[in-house]
Structure 1
Amino acid sequence: MYQDYRIFAISSRLSTLKLIIPVIGPKGGVGKSTISSMVSLGLSDKSIATGLLDLDITNPTLHIILGIDVKSIKLEEVNGIKPLKLTENLEFISPSFFTEDKALPLRGKDIVNVIRELLAIVNWNSIVLVIDTPPGFSDEVLELLFLIYNVNPYILRPLLVTNQSILSLVSIKRILHLIRKEITPLGIICNMCNNDDYIQDISRIYNIDNLGYIPFINDIEKIIGDSKALLKYSTSYLNILINKILNIIRLRDVNEDIYNK
């Protein structure tokens, strides 16, 4: 019977993490990539060893948001691939590092293979891993949730991102309906919203944390590529989310045996 050796490697790589946060959204354009960047910058600024992974295999953009020229990157190999060190507490991997930002037209099984390869070869030196995912419940998202859940369901806490569009709100309910029996979300956040009214009912009905809202940022295009500006917005709008993550990490430090089964 065929066994994919990468599954065992993935288990070894991910089992050292205390928390994995896939950032999931039902539609394109809700701000998953920007929020993934802001969350990872905010955590690293709190001296939390944080990894950031762009898992939008066919259309990665985190390196653009963070202002990284992928053609100048030379990754080191030490017991696997060492992520790019962005700050003292933040490391990053993107598929673009391996493709030099060229198009990667993959589908189905090929995408699954790329995901398994990335997760198997990257040697993270972090305790929290934030993962930017493509829209909806694509192959990337389904495979990712399956792999992490089978390593340790306790460390898997997806962050759900929506905006105030009825299309996005309906779709986020579908995602919650699918995952809520097996997976506990970190919470839900409303992006480009004037308030959190749009997610209050979802939070109550599905019994998940309302992590607040981020207003529409008029000059968002001007801060693309500027990690310092992104950190400033993270500090302004993501305090509830960052503090919840810090509390989870503290709890797991105290009850380490429970989460390392």
Structure 2
Amino acid sequence: MENGDIPEDANEHCPGPQSDSAGKSDACEGCPNQQICATAPKGPDPVDMVAIAERMATVKHKILVLSGKGGVGKSTFSAQLAFALAARDFQVGLLDIDICGPSIPKMLGLEGQEIHQSNLGWSPVYVESNLGVMSIGFMLPHPDEAVIWRGPRKNGLIKQFLKDVYWGELDFLIVDAPPGTSDEHISIVQCLDAANVDGAIIVTTPQQVSLIDVKKEVNFCKKVGVKVLGVVENMSGLSQPISNLKFMKITDNGEMKDVTEWISEYMKEKAPEMLNLIACSEVFDSSGGGALKMCNEMAVPFLGKVPLDPQLCKAAEEGRSCFADKDCVVSAPALQKIIDKLMETSGLSMTESNGV
């Protein structure tokens, strides 16, 4: 049994031998391994920590991307951050540790790819020569395969990613974490403790139901000693060019009739300058002040807002960079501004890519 793995003869709800409650919880009663687990040393294996430190020694900056809850666009932000840094000629790695919901392969256009083993370790899957990706999604027999793992097994894979993947020299390693504050978060923080993590970016949406969980995420970072590099307010209003809008009219019998063509022709004839405007609408209630107010209250940096842009959603679905898409006229500039601010305020700015 490797350090951290659940024994085959363990009870059904085994907390895992590395858990603080190992050998002590109700689930451990009657387990043949109870005494061993209760007295065994806890925490990451020192041998593994040395191996991880050696791997991470060639990575200049390590950034975690977190969210308080799912569905706020965390993985979309991680993917576009990786695309943006690679476009600036940095050497970039993107590590997906969302074990049960790996969406990074799709968002990087890498579905169906597989991991290859070399004498140096696991080789990342490359989008470009300077953008490599690692995810459990590359290990599944089918994209729809469910990953039903307990915490210790997920933590074991994260540890294996960190010590066995050969990234080479990187300027940035972006780690896309699962939402919330789960075992995976504790595992990645413990394993990278000696590797000098730069900090975490937290992604949220404007409404209070999301910000409540983000506050917990900020407090988690403070407790484990991870610097909050900043908070990104995603889906901050729906914005898109008027020329991309679809217009509907409610008829007398209550049906919806498409009048887009008529409206477009009318604007072209009567007010062509309107076609260059951006239409904006608040989708989520931000009357509570949104992420900016929360950041001021909790004394963490606010990096900026990204509008809900259908073109960005399309780029993510198709595994493309929004920065190379002429249709992403709303989201791409907003993301670039956020990345510029991140680089300037967090000590990450480098005039050129020169590895480590």
Determine if the TM-score, normalized by the shorter chain, exceeds 0.5: yes
Amino acid in the other structure paired with 1:52: L
Q: How far apart, in 2, do the equivalents of 1:122 and 1:17 lie?
A: 12
Q: How far apart, in 2, do the equivalents of 1:121 and 1:84 lie?
A: 14
Map 1:131-210; keep pairs closer than 5 Å. Answer: 131-152=175-196, 155-180=197-222, 182-194=225-237, 197-210=289-302
Preserved contact between residue 41 and residue 231 of structure 1 (Cα < 8 Å): no
Q: C-alpha root-mean-square deviation of aligned residues, in Å?
A: 2.5
Amino acid in the other structure paired with 1:6: D
Amino acid in the other structure paired with 1:225: E
Equivalent position to 1:99, from 103, 122, 140: 140
Q: How far apart, in 2, do the equivalents of 1:74 and 1:186 lie?
A: 31
Greater helix share, structure number: 1
Preserved contact between residue 114 and residue 139 of structure 2 (Cα < 8 Å): no
CA apart distance, 1:18 = 1.8
CA apart distance, 1:68 = 1.5
Equivalent position to 1:236, from 333, 344, 347: 333
Which protein has greater RCO, CA pairs closer than 8 Å, 6+ apart?
1
What is the DSSP-based 3-state SS (H/G/I as helix, E as strand, rest coil) of the residue aligned with 1:237?
helix
Amino acid in the other structure paired with 2:156: N
Preserved contact between residue 181 and residue 220 of structure 2 (Cα < 8 Å): no
TM-score, normalised by the number of residues in structure 1: 0.86
Amino acid in the other structure paired with 1:82: S
CA apart distance, 1:45 = 0.4
What is the DSSP-based 3-state SS (H/G/I as helix, E as strand, rest coil) of the residue aligned with 1:193?
strand
Greater strand share, structure number: 2
CA apart distance, 1:220 = 4.5
1:225 aligns with 2:225: no
Map 1:80-119; keep pairs closer than 5 Å. Answer: 80-100=121-141, 101=143, 102-119=145-162
Q: How far apart, in 2, do the equivalents of 1:190 and 1:231 lie?
A: 22
Q: How far apart, in 2, do the equivalents of 1:130 and 1:64 lie?
A: 16
Amino acid in the other structure paired with 1:122: V
User: How many residue pairs align between the two structures?
Assistant: 251
CA apart distance, 1:208 = 1.9
Preserved contact between residue 52 and residue 129 of structure 1 (Cα < 8 Å): yes
CA apart distance, 1:4 = 5.3
CA apart distance, 1:205 = 2.2
Q: Which runs of 5+ in 2 are unaligned?
A: 1-39, 238-281
CA apart distance, 1:226 = 3.5
Preserved contact between residue 19 and residue 157 of structure 1 (Cα < 8 Å): no
1:36 aligns with 78
**Per-residue CA distance 1:101-135 (angstroms, 9 max, x = gap):** 33221012111111111111001131211111111
Q: How far apart, in 1, do the equivalents of 2:310 and 2:86 lie?
A: 26
Q: How far apart, in 2, do the equivalents of 1:252 and 1:160 lie?
A: 25
Structure with the greater alpha carbon radius of gyration: 2
Q: How far apart, in 2, do the equivalents of 1:189 and 1:177 lie?
A: 16
Among the aligned pairs, what percent are the same residue? 26
Amino acid in the other structure paired with 1:97: F
Q: Which runs of 5+ in 1 are unaligned?
A: 254-259
